[in-house]
Structure 1
Amino acid sequence: MPMIDLTVGRGSVRDAKRADLLEELATILLRWEGAPDTEFFREITWVYLHEIEADQLAVGGRGGGSARFRVEVTVPEGALSPRRKAGLIADVHGAVVAAAGLDPHSAQALHVWTLIREVPEGSWGAAGAVVHFEQLKQTSAAERERSATS
């Protein structure tokens, strides 16, 4: 049940790239979580795009400046090892930089920040019930098995 919230300045991601970026971020997250890329797991992988006006961001307490990108990834605690976190951060960075048309080696590429938030066991709910990480792992294994036999 991973989730991504991408906050950008309005116009920072080109219109033609927006839908592709949202799909790519979901794909990246599923891959690094180790979840199968099936309809079930896509249905519970949400990506939100929040576009804000330039005057809604202050850098160093001052308005203006070049575009900033905040990517907040929320996953169940234990879903990502340190290696998976590093891979996720690198791939998310690459996807956002490409969609924004930035040089990945420029100073502006430093303005893409990725934050990973892990929700403690027992603190994530859906359909009015607590969802346990172990349940998701079991569902993932069943989805993999189902995909392999199809």
Structure 2
Amino acid sequence: MPLLRITHQRGAFTEAQKAQLAEELTSAILIAEVGADTPAGRSLAYVLFDEVDPKTSWYVGGKPDTSPPKGGRFLFDVVFPVGACTQADKTALHETINRIIANTLDVDGSFPHRASDWVIVHEVPNGSWGASGQTIGIREINHVVGGAPERSEYFESLLAAQARVREAHGFPSEERRGQAQPEAA
């Protein structure tokens, strides 16, 4: 259930380029999130294009961005649940998005030529994502979209480690909610 918001300057893409980007980026974000591009995953993978006017709404160095690099500037905000992917998966996603945008726009994608294209992965904490009136996390998402089974080893160990940290540091538990807490010494 990944979400990708692409903020871009007005006129950066043709409708055909948007369609191509949506297709290729959907595959990329699904593979990064659950390790598989499945029909069930595609039915829940969102790619949103947010177009802004570079003369009135996009500033670089405190001034309107009237001289963007060839192809424009882009912000790729990727939203995943915590535990969806490792740092290696995120790095591969950064590389894949860069390659896709460079190929689509026929520009040099190497650093620093496309340093103005930012890919930011936002991880939603466990318990903060909801769908169909239910709180869901990476376990449920991986199951519903037919994610790669080997992904569960990573997210299960991560979720268990987070639980141990909460317990070791005395974070309130759901069981203790509403009960009087011991006073600090």
What's 1:60 paired with?
61
Query: For 1:114-129, what aligned pairs fall within 5 Å after superposition?
Result: 114-129=119-134
Deviation at 1:107, TM superposition (A): 4.5
Deviation at 1:106, TM superposition (A): 6.6
Structure 1 residues 98, 116: CA separation in 2 closer, same or farther (over 3 Å shift)? same
| TM-score normalised according to structure 1 size | 0.86
What's 2:83 paired with?
78
Q: Distance in 2 between matches of 1:109 and 1:91?
A: 13
Structure 1: where are the runs of 5+ without partners? 146-150
Bigger Cα Rg: 2
What's 1:43 paired with?
43
3-state DSSP class of the match of 2:109?
Answer: coil
Query: For 1:27-38, what aligned pairs fall within 5 Å after superposition?
Result: 27-38=27-38
What's 1:148 paired with?
none
**Aligned pair count?**
144
Letter matched to residue 20 of structure 1? Q
Greater shift, 13-22 or 77-86, is seen at 13-22
Structure 1 residues 10, 137: CA separation in 2 closer, same or farther (over 3 Å shift)? same
Structure number with the higher helix fraction is 1
What's 1:20 paired with?
20
Q: Distance in 1 between matches of 2:85 and 2:122?
A: 10
Structure 2: where are the runs of 5+ without partners? 150-185
Partners of 1:13 and 1:99 within 8 A in 2: no
Instruction: Find runs of 4+ consecutive structure 1 residues off by over 6 angstroms.
Output: none
Superimposed CA distance per residue, residues 58-82 of structure 1 (whole angstroms, 9 cap, x where no aligned partner): 0011002312100000000010101
3-state DSSP class of the match of 1:74?
Answer: strand
Greater shift, 24-33 or 114-123, is seen at 24-33
Greater shift, 23-32 or 82-91, is seen at 23-32
CA RMSD of aligned residues (A): 2.0
Deviation at 1:124, TM superposition (A): 0.4
Greater shift, 97-106 or 41-50, is seen at 97-106
Partners of 1:2 and 1:46 within 8 A in 2: yes
% same residue: 28
